[in-house]
Amino acid sequence: MGYTTIIYITGSVMLFSIMSLNVNTVVGDQLSQSVSYYEEVQVRNLCNSVTEMLASSVSSDPSYRKNSYSNLSLFSGSAYYRVVDTVVSADTLVKIEVIGYFGTTPKVTTSYFSAQDTEPELPPQFKYAVSSQGKLSLGGNSKVVDDGDPTLNADVFVTDLALAGNANIKGFVSYTSSFSGNTSKITPNSNPSGLPVTSHVSSISVPTFKAEDHLSKATVKYFSDVTVKNNTLTLGTKANPAIVYISGNLKLQANSKINGYGMIIVTGNVEMNGNTTFGTNDPNVSSLGIYANGNITASGNNTYYGQMYANGNIELSGNASIHGSVSAKGNIEMSGNNTIAYKKGNVDLTEEIWETTGGGGNSIERVARRLYYE
């Protein structure tokens, strides 16, 4: 082997070593950045979740305080927190301070709440795409997805779930009794921690609705069955939603429409069929709430922008497209080509109903956040 060859080989080995070192350094830096970003996201979620839990405790018990730091383990991380009284600009507020740790990343968040002022909160059943104290039967080509926000999970909370056919769910599933179906059809939009897509939980309670308790709140009243066919029912505005009370059944038939914002309270059953459109397509919140003592059935080509609740059962067949959420005290059956595209609920369409004992038994108002720092 000649001297030139030896120099060439030695140089090649040195060059390869330098390149390998650079590549390893770049990969190591990228991995470190990825881990750091992941930990920052997780610790922020941890701090915000603990803050929400403590705010709920203060809402339930205005005297709730933790003057000394307490420790809590949550979401594979840990947090130290305290809840104390403080004064800001002459206002007496409740200060919630959370120090969170996830991996090697710490974070501190501080929130100030007014114990005197309260802000309405959505009732629990409208925080899910689908909730039922009975059984959800999801078959055919039916699906539960997001309404255009791929970061939003379309979660399901039911007693029993039967998943069949080509049906799929873009969220987590919580059930209290039984689950049957293929879990590969359940794919949450957001699951950074790789959590199980189904969870067997202890209980679910969907409140009982009593339409008769809300007659005095109605801005429009009907004391018989109402049928809308080849016609339009106009409600209120976003700032001033209408409250329609129907003592009887509501039938929405071919080519009927409901425009505007509001609640429709029905003492009987609701039937939707034909080519119908209900509610206004607001990109941010639901515009319509239909709340029935009885059952709700939808067939044909229905497009619905809102929140739907039944004390009885809900049956969706045909090509129903619901942009909002669905909740029932009884069973929910979806067959055909139905879609529930989950949109966050509109508290303006619930606070007049579920803040009273007639709508579910407990106040759902919570302390109002005034300041937030992190």
Phi-psi region of 222 (alpha: psi -120 to 50; beta: other; left: phi over 0): beta
Residue 295 pLDDT: 98
Write down the mean pLDDT value for the chain: 86
Residue ranges covered by each domain of the chain: 1-117+366-374, 124-354
Residue 4 pLDDT: 62
Residue 173 pLDDT: 95
- CA nearest 95: which of 110, 109, 81? 110
Confidence of residue 363 (pLDDT cuts 50, 70, 90): very low
Confidence of residue 358 (pLDDT cuts 50, 70, 90): very low
Residue type, 43: V
Point out the least confidently predicted range of 4-13, 116-125, 177-186, 285-294: 4-13
Distance between alpha carbon 180 and the CA centroid of its chain, in Å?
23
Residue 312 pLDDT: 96
pLDDT above 90 coverage of the chain, percent: 56
Q: Show the tokens assigned to 211.
A: 């339409």
Residue 174 pLDDT: 93
- DSSP-derived 3-state class of residue 109: strand
Q: Show the tokens assigned to 176.
A: 């209290």
25-39, 129-143, 350-364, range with greatest mean pLDDT: 129-143
pLDDT, one tens digit per residue, over 202-235 is 877 788 889 999 999 999 999 999 999 999 999 9
Confidence of residue 345 (pLDDT cuts 50, 70, 90): confident
In a 10 Å sphere around its CB, with 0-12 CB exposed, 13-18 middle and 19+ buried, how is residue 87 labelled? exposed
> What is the average pLDDT across 324-343?
94
Q: Which residue has the higher pLDDT, 38 or 248?
A: 248
pLDDT above 50: residue 139: yes
pLDDT above 70: residue 16: no
> What is the average pLDDT across 262-278?
93
- CA nearest 299: which of 275, 277, 316? 316
Question: Is-contact 329 310, C-beta < 8 A?
Answer: yes
> What is the average pLDDT across 196-203?
88
Residues 63, 60: Cα–Cα separation, whole Å: 9
161-170, 185-194, 347-356, range with greatest mean pLDDT: 161-170
Residues 81, 74: Cα–Cα separation, whole Å: 13
